[in-house]
Amino acid sequence: MTPVEIRNKNIINETVKALKSRHFDAYAVDTKEEALSLALSLIPKEDVVSFGGSASVDSVGLKEALYARGQKFIDRSAAKSPEDAERLQREALLCDTYLMSANAIGADGTIVNIDGNGNRVAALCYGPKQVIIIAGANKITHDVKSAIERAKYYAAPVNAARFDIGTPCKEKGLCNVCKCPDCICAQILITRLCRRAGRIKVILTKESLGF
Protein backbone atom coordinates (compact mmCIF):
# COMPACT_ATOMS: atom_id res chain seq x y z
CA MET A 1 0.00 0.00 0.00
CA THR A 2 1.09 3.57 -0.61
CA PRO A 3 1.43 5.95 2.36
CA VAL A 4 -1.82 7.66 1.30
CA GLU A 5 -3.63 4.31 1.17
CA ILE A 6 -2.34 3.41 4.64
CA ARG A 7 -3.57 6.77 5.99
CA ASN A 8 -6.95 6.36 4.32
CA LYS A 9 -7.46 2.81 5.56
CA ASN A 10 -6.58 3.74 9.15
CA ILE A 11 -8.61 6.92 9.30
CA ILE A 12 -11.63 5.22 7.75
CA ASN A 13 -11.54 2.46 10.35
CA GLU A 14 -11.36 5.04 13.16
CA THR A 15 -14.18 7.09 11.62
CA VAL A 16 -16.42 4.03 11.22
CA LYS A 17 -15.97 3.29 14.93
CA ALA A 18 -16.81 6.91 15.83
CA LEU A 19 -19.89 6.95 13.55
CA LYS A 20 -21.17 3.71 15.08
CA SER A 21 -20.77 5.19 18.57
CA ARG A 22 -23.21 7.90 17.42
CA HIS A 23 -25.74 5.29 16.18
CA PHE A 24 -25.08 5.68 12.47
CA ASP A 25 -24.68 2.46 10.50
CA ALA A 26 -21.19 2.79 9.06
CA TYR A 27 -19.18 0.71 6.63
CA ALA A 28 -15.59 0.78 5.36
CA VAL A 29 -14.91 -0.40 1.80
CA ASP A 30 -11.86 -0.26 -0.43
CA THR A 31 -13.23 0.65 -3.84
CA LYS A 32 -16.06 2.37 -5.71
CA GLU A 33 -17.24 -1.03 -6.94
CA GLU A 34 -17.56 -2.31 -3.36
CA ALA A 35 -19.42 0.87 -2.39
CA LEU A 36 -21.85 0.34 -5.27
CA SER A 37 -22.49 -3.30 -4.40
CA LEU A 38 -23.01 -2.51 -0.71
CA ALA A 39 -25.36 0.41 -1.42
CA LEU A 40 -27.47 -1.74 -3.76
CA SER A 41 -27.79 -4.39 -1.04
CA LEU A 42 -29.03 -1.76 1.45
CA ILE A 43 -31.83 -0.48 -0.81
CA PRO A 44 -34.95 -2.67 -1.01
CA LYS A 45 -36.13 -3.16 -4.60
CA GLU A 46 -39.59 -1.74 -3.79
CA ASP A 47 -38.21 1.50 -2.31
CA VAL A 48 -38.89 4.89 -3.89
CA VAL A 49 -35.47 6.54 -4.16
CA SER A 50 -34.42 10.17 -4.47
CA PHE A 51 -31.14 11.99 -4.16
CA GLY A 52 -29.33 15.27 -3.65
CA GLY A 53 -26.72 16.49 -6.12
CA SER A 54 -23.54 14.53 -5.42
CA ALA A 55 -20.40 13.92 -7.45
CA SER A 56 -19.55 11.04 -5.09
CA VAL A 57 -22.85 9.20 -5.67
CA ASP A 58 -22.50 9.84 -9.41
CA SER A 59 -18.94 8.52 -9.49
CA VAL A 60 -19.85 5.07 -8.11
CA GLY A 61 -22.63 4.66 -10.72
CA LEU A 62 -25.34 4.02 -8.15
CA LYS A 63 -28.17 5.86 -9.89
CA GLU A 64 -27.52 4.07 -13.21
CA ALA A 65 -27.46 0.69 -11.44
CA LEU A 66 -30.74 1.45 -9.66
CA TYR A 67 -32.41 2.62 -12.88
CA ALA A 68 -31.17 -0.57 -14.58
CA ARG A 69 -32.85 -2.78 -11.98
CA GLY A 70 -36.13 -0.88 -12.35
CA GLN A 71 -36.05 1.15 -9.13
CA LYS A 72 -38.74 3.82 -8.78
CA PHE A 73 -37.21 7.31 -8.58
CA ILE A 74 -38.22 10.83 -7.70
CA ASP A 75 -35.86 12.74 -9.98
CA ARG A 76 -36.23 16.51 -10.18
CA SER A 77 -34.00 16.61 -13.27
CA ALA A 78 -36.95 15.04 -15.10
CA ALA A 79 -39.14 18.07 -14.28
CA LYS A 80 -40.81 19.84 -17.19
CA SER A 81 -41.07 23.23 -15.47
CA PRO A 82 -39.72 25.05 -12.39
CA GLU A 83 -43.05 24.37 -10.66
CA ASP A 84 -42.72 20.66 -11.43
CA ALA A 85 -39.15 20.67 -10.09
CA GLU A 86 -40.35 22.27 -6.86
CA ARG A 87 -43.10 19.65 -6.51
CA LEU A 88 -40.64 16.79 -7.04
CA GLN A 89 -38.19 18.34 -4.59
CA ARG A 90 -40.90 18.43 -1.95
CA GLU A 91 -42.02 14.85 -2.71
CA ALA A 92 -38.40 13.68 -2.37
CA LEU A 93 -38.56 14.58 1.32
CA LEU A 94 -40.92 11.64 1.86
CA CYS A 95 -39.14 9.03 -0.26
CA ASP A 96 -37.97 5.70 1.16
CA THR A 97 -34.25 5.98 0.47
CA TYR A 98 -32.37 9.25 -0.06
CA LEU A 99 -28.88 9.22 -1.56
CA MET A 100 -26.28 11.89 -0.91
CA SER A 101 -22.69 12.47 0.10
CA ALA A 102 -21.33 14.77 2.82
CA ASN A 103 -19.26 17.90 2.46
CA ALA A 104 -17.05 16.70 5.29
CA ILE A 105 -16.98 14.03 8.00
CA GLY A 106 -15.01 14.47 11.20
CA ALA A 107 -13.03 11.46 12.40
CA ASP A 108 -15.01 12.03 15.60
CA GLY A 109 -18.11 10.84 13.73
CA THR A 110 -19.77 14.19 13.04
CA ILE A 111 -21.14 14.87 9.56
CA VAL A 112 -21.13 18.38 8.07
CA ASN A 113 -23.16 19.59 5.10
CA ILE A 114 -23.65 23.00 3.55
CA ASP A 115 -26.65 23.71 1.36
CA GLY A 116 -28.21 26.57 -0.58
CA ASN A 117 -31.87 25.62 -1.03
CA GLY A 118 -31.77 23.34 1.99
CA ASN A 119 -33.57 20.38 0.40
CA ARG A 120 -30.57 18.06 0.83
CA VAL A 121 -29.98 18.87 4.50
CA ALA A 122 -33.74 18.75 5.14
CA ALA A 123 -33.85 15.16 3.83
CA LEU A 124 -30.88 14.25 6.00
CA CYS A 125 -32.60 15.62 9.11
CA TYR A 126 -36.05 14.08 8.69
CA GLY A 127 -38.43 12.55 6.15
CA PRO A 128 -36.90 9.73 4.10
CA LYS A 129 -37.04 6.35 5.87
CA GLN A 130 -33.31 5.94 5.34
CA VAL A 131 -30.47 8.10 4.06
CA ILE A 132 -27.38 6.57 2.47
CA ILE A 133 -24.24 8.73 2.45
CA ILE A 134 -21.38 7.69 0.18
CA ALA A 135 -18.08 9.48 0.81
CA GLY A 136 -14.40 9.00 0.05
CA ALA A 137 -11.53 9.20 2.51
CA ASN A 138 -10.77 12.65 1.10
CA LYS A 139 -13.85 13.97 2.98
CA ILE A 140 -12.57 12.91 6.40
CA THR A 141 -11.06 15.58 8.62
CA HIS A 142 -9.74 15.60 12.17
CA ASP A 143 -12.89 16.72 14.01
CA VAL A 144 -16.09 18.74 13.68
CA LYS A 145 -14.27 22.09 13.62
CA SER A 146 -12.02 21.05 10.74
CA ALA A 147 -15.02 19.42 9.02
CA ILE A 148 -16.86 22.75 9.02
CA GLU A 149 -13.76 24.46 7.67
CA ARG A 150 -13.41 21.91 4.89
CA ALA A 151 -17.09 22.18 3.96
CA LYS A 152 -17.08 25.95 4.00
CA TYR A 153 -13.69 26.90 2.61
CA TYR A 154 -13.03 24.06 0.15
CA ALA A 155 -16.14 22.06 -0.79
CA ALA A 156 -18.46 25.07 -1.10
CA PRO A 157 -16.21 27.08 -3.48
CA VAL A 158 -15.62 23.97 -5.63
CA ASN A 159 -19.35 23.26 -5.62
CA ALA A 160 -20.10 26.87 -6.61
CA ALA A 161 -17.89 26.44 -9.67
CA ARG A 162 -20.28 23.72 -10.94
CA PHE A 163 -23.22 26.08 -11.26
CA ASP A 164 -24.21 29.15 -13.24
CA ILE A 165 -24.17 31.43 -10.21
CA GLY A 166 -22.44 34.65 -9.28
CA THR A 167 -20.76 34.05 -5.93
CA PRO A 168 -17.46 35.61 -4.84
CA CYS A 169 -15.92 32.16 -4.27
CA LYS A 170 -16.61 31.19 -7.86
CA GLU A 171 -14.64 34.21 -9.02
CA LYS A 172 -11.75 34.02 -6.54
CA GLY A 173 -11.73 30.46 -5.17
CA LEU A 174 -11.99 31.90 -1.66
CA CYS A 175 -15.01 32.23 0.59
CA ASN A 176 -15.80 35.73 1.79
CA VAL A 177 -18.84 34.65 3.80
CA CYS A 178 -21.12 36.32 1.28
CA LYS A 179 -24.79 37.25 1.57
CA CYS A 180 -25.41 37.32 -2.18
CA PRO A 181 -28.70 35.94 -3.57
CA ASP A 182 -26.94 32.97 -5.21
CA CYS A 183 -25.15 31.94 -2.00
CA ILE A 184 -24.97 28.16 -1.71
CA CYS A 185 -24.17 28.33 2.01
CA ALA A 186 -27.57 29.30 3.40
CA GLN A 187 -27.66 26.25 5.66
CA ILE A 188 -24.79 24.68 7.61
CA LEU A 189 -25.82 21.41 9.22
CA ILE A 190 -23.85 19.43 11.79
CA THR A 191 -25.29 15.95 12.22
CA ARG A 192 -23.78 14.75 15.46
CA LEU A 193 -26.06 11.80 16.24
CA CYS A 194 -28.39 9.44 14.37
CA ARG A 195 -31.44 9.83 16.62
CA ARG A 196 -33.23 6.83 15.07
CA ALA A 197 -30.41 4.29 15.14
CA GLY A 198 -29.34 3.14 11.69
CA ARG A 199 -31.59 5.52 9.73
CA ILE A 200 -28.48 7.21 8.34
CA LYS A 201 -26.02 4.82 6.76
CA VAL A 202 -22.51 5.96 5.85
CA ILE A 203 -20.35 4.11 3.32
CA LEU A 204 -16.72 5.28 3.39
CA THR A 205 -14.35 4.33 0.59
CA LYS A 206 -10.58 4.21 0.77
CA GLU A 207 -10.61 5.78 -2.70
CA SER A 208 -11.20 9.51 -3.01
CA LEU A 209 -14.66 10.45 -4.28
CA GLY A 210 -16.09 13.83 -5.22
CA PHE A 211 -14.48 16.94 -3.76
Q: How many residues make contact with ligand SF4 (CB under 6 A)?
A: 13
Please list the residues that pair with 1 across neighbouring strands. none
CB nearer to ligand SF4: pick between 55 and 175: 175
CB of 82 to ligand SF4, least distance (A): 21
* SS3 state of residue 62: helix
CB of 195 to ligand SF4, least distance (A): 28
d(Cα 116, Cα 176) in Å, to the nearest integer?
16
Q: What is the dihedral of CA 6, 8, 14, 15, to 10 degrees?
A: 180
User: Which of 199, 204, 203, 192 minimizes the C-alpha distance to 21?
Assistant: 192
CA atoms within 13 A on the CB side of 112: 26
Q: Distance between alpha carbon 64 and the CA centroid of its chain, in Å?
A: 17
Q: Which of 94, 183, 188, 190 is the binder for ligand SF4 (CB under 6 A)?
A: 183
What is the rounded radius of gyration, in angstroms, for the C-alpha atoms of the chain?
17
Q: Which of 175, 188, 190, 193 is the binder for ligand SF4 (CB under 6 A)?
A: 175
CB nearer to ligand SF4: pick between 85 and 161: 161
CB of 208 to ligand SF4, least distance (A): 21
61 binds ligand SF4 (CB under 6 A): no
CB 191 within 8 A of CB 123: no
178 binds ligand SF4 (CB under 6 A): yes
176 binds ligand SF4 (CB under 6 A): yes
CB nearer to ligand SF4: pick between 145 and 196: 145
Measured over the CA atoms of residue 140, residue 141, residue 143 and residue 145, the dihedral's sign is negative
Q: Which of 6, 78, 177, 197 is the binder for ligand SF4 (CB under 6 A)?
A: 177
CB of 60 to ligand SF4, least distance (A): 26
194 binds ligand SF4 (CB under 6 A): no
136 to 165, contacts with ligand SF4 by CB under 6 A?
Answer: 156-157, 160
User: Which of 154, 180, 158, 159 minimizes the C-alpha distance to 168?
Assistant: 180
Q: Which residues bind ligand SF4 (CB under 6 A)?
A: 156-157, 160, 167-169, 175-178, 183-185
